[in-house]
Structure 1
């Protein structure tokens, strides 16, 4: 259950959050390089 919540929070951070954060910037950079699915998992971890 905790993994699911972290995954959902990462998805929200990368897609819906309008404020800038270093975690979001890192995740979007990673998504551009290796795909959105892998980036969501990395941000969740």
Structure 2
């Protein structure tokens, strides 16, 4: 997404598909996080 040209309607709702595979016995997922980088001019 280009923050210099994005419109309000384009960023009101941002979606993406995420997949993850967790293998192992007695594996426990306690949390999941994400991040993004933005450069303002």
Which TM bucket (shorter chain)? under 0.3
Using structure 1 for the length normalisation, give the TM-score: 0.20
Using structure 2 for the length normalisation, give the TM-score: 0.20
Larger % of helix: which? 1
Q: RCO (CA 8 Å, sep 6+): is it higher in 1 or 2?
A: 2
Which is higher, the Rg of structure 1 or of structure 2?
Answer: 2
